[in-house]
């Protein structure tokens, strides 16, 4: 049987589990929002604790809090940042749209811990939440959490993927293959050229994410309830940002309170990265299809049995996992986009769902990029004979003959070669064309570098 203690807030008394660090307002939110069973992302809880630590220090600097109380709050906040107390943040993502419930959850936990440290009552509102409002603290925490995850996880993961793709692009420089447009044979390319394109997609995606970070760094902390900064001072605002060096104060607090456009922009860039990763994973999946009835151009690493009924079957499991991640990121971006549009006057009231979807997208893409790099791309092996055979057998290699025999005759050569299962060279000679350097013109590797001819 769970034992309870009695806590109270402005609405009256509430029973709280005796070992819980939270208080009455958190307990009410537990009862009010039994929606999804999904709690706030740990990255958000950590960022919120970072902000509370900074606010406690700034409140001590400006004389709002006694130094001992501020130190105890900051110490408690650092404990929360380690993740050791995550169980004391049980609230559902789908809660009050301002994130007030989670802000109060943090305030109550820190007040309880700080009170034990100093042996005196610490109030969650009067002390922990001094100079703050949920309306500036919670969105600031989303921005900071996104910055932390992008900097610590996503950008390093994308750079690893770029490096791995670049390595393969160099390794595959001389391996010629049939190009494809509309999923139909086209003029030759090298496998290295394809992989250089993949690397550039992720490189550009990395640049897009980095480009939005200056706007994500702007946070509304210090604007309190509606952006005016009521109950906070200019000296508090000057001080608090010294403890949050990765952020800057919003250029306009009314924009920063009423809109979450920077987070919507970041989500859009994450979607673009996901589009790139989907294309890369899908191309690799197609090139690895087979082993007899598919394209058979690449051998993908064997990671696990692919069927519960067909012995020996191996599937492109990493590509499939990555594609599902990308699908989830597309959906998350749609949710963030709509939620971002719900900035009614001085406050967006869909902040928790923005946090949940945006932070999930960052985490998923970070992990998927590493999987794609390490468990798929790094172990790819080309089937060179098949690749060259497809290139040389493609009717599209007739293209360089346009300037010698004309487009219509070249088309007739291609159709005859295909219908009679003959090489382009044989059909050209059979039709009586005397082209002295025919072998050089039909060199499929040379076709991939016409500028060197």
Q: Which of 36, 98, 101, 182 is catalytic?
A: 182
Report d(CA 165, CA 199) in Å as an integer: 5
For residue 9, list its beta bridge partners: 12
227's torsion region: left (phi>0), alpha (psi -120 to 50) or beta?
Answer: left
209 C-beta neighbours (distance < 10 Å), count: 21
Q: What is the DSSP string of 409-434?
A: HHHHHHHHHHHHT--HHHHHHHTT--
Contact predicate 52/93, CB 8 Å: no
Nearest Cα neighbor of 287 from 301, 299, 272, 305 is 299
Q: Checking DSSP bridges between strand 218-219 and strand 248-249, what pairing results, if any?
A: parallel
For residue 39, list its beta bridge partners: 92
Q: What residues have CB less than 8 Å from 295, skipping those under 6 apart?
A: 286, 287, 288, 289, 386, 390
Is residue 88 flagged as an active site residue?
Answer: no
Give, in order, the Cα–Cα distances in Å from 360 to each of 217, 257, 350.
19, 23, 16
Is residue 433 flagged as an active site residue?
Answer: no
Report d(CA 142, CA 51) in Å as an integer: 11
Q: Which of 307, 366, 394, 433 is catalytic?
A: 307
* Bond into 246 cis (ω within 30): no
Report d(CA 45, CA 90) in Å as an integer: 11
Report d(CA 47, CA 265) in Å as an integer: 20
- Determine what percent of the chain falls in helix, strand and coil, rounding each to the nearest 5: 60, 10, 30
- Chain centre to alpha carbon of residue 384: 34
Where do we find the tokens 């921005």? 143
Report d(CA 232, CA 221) in Å as an integer: 10
Q: What is the DSSP string of 341-361?
A: T-EETTEES-HHHHHHHHHHH
List active site positions: 182, 307
């Amino acid at each position: 049987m769970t034992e309870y203690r009695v806590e109270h807030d402005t609405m009256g008394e509430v029973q709280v589990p005796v070992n819980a660090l939270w208080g009455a307002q958190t307990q009410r939110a537990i009862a009010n929002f039994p929606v999804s069973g999904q709690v706030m992302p740990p990255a958000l809880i950590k960022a919120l604790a970072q902000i509370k630590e900074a606010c406690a220090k700034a409140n001590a600097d400006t004389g709002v809090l006694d130094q001992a109380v501020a130190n105890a709050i900051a110490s408690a906040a650092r404990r929360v940042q380690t993740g050791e107390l995550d169980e004391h943040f049980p609230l559902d993502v789908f809660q009050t749209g301002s994130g007030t419930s989670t802000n109060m959850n943090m305030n109550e936990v820190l007040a309880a811990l700080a009170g034990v440290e100093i042996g005196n009552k610490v109030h969650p509102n009067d002390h922990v939440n001094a100079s703050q409002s949920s309306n500036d603290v919670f969105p600031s925490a989303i921005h900071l959490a996104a910055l932390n995850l992008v900097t610590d996880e996503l950008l390093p993961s994308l750079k690893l993927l770029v490096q791995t793709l670049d390595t393969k692009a160099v390794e595959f420089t001389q391996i010629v293959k049939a190009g494809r447009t509309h999923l139909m044979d086209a003029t030759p390319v090298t496998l290295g050229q394809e992989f250089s394109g993949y690397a550039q997609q992720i490189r550009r995606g990395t640049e897009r994410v980095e480009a939005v970070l200056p706007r994500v760094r702007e946070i509304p902390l210090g604007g309190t309830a509606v952006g005016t900064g009521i109950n906070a001072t200019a000296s508090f605002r000057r001080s608090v940002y010294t403890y949050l060096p990765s952020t800057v104060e919003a250029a306009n607090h009314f924009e920063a309170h009423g809109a979450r456009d920077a987070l919507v922009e970041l989500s859009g860039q994450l979607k673009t990265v996901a589009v790139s990763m989907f294309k890369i994973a899908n191309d690799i999946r197609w090139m690895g299809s087979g082993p007899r009835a598919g394209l058979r151009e690449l051998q993908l690493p064997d990671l696990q049995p692919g069927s519960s009924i067909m012995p020996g079957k191996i599937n492109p499991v990493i590509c499939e996992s990555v594609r599902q991640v990308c699908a989830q990121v597309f959906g998350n971006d749609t949710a963030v986009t709509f939620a971002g549009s719900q900035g009614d006057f001085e406050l967006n009231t869909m902040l928790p769902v923005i946090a949940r979807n945006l932070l999930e997208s960052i985490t998923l893409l970070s992990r998927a990029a590493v999987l794609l790099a390490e468990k798929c791309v790094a172990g790819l092996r080309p089937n060179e004979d098949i690749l060259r055979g497809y290139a040389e057998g493609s009717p599209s290699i007739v293209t360089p003959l346009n300037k010698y025999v004309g487009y219509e005759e070249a088309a007739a050569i291609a159709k005859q070669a295909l219908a009679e299962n003959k090489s382009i060279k044989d059909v050209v000679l059979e039709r009586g064309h005397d082209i002295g350097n025919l072998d050089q013109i039909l060199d499929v590797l040379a076709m991939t570098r016409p500028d060197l001819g």
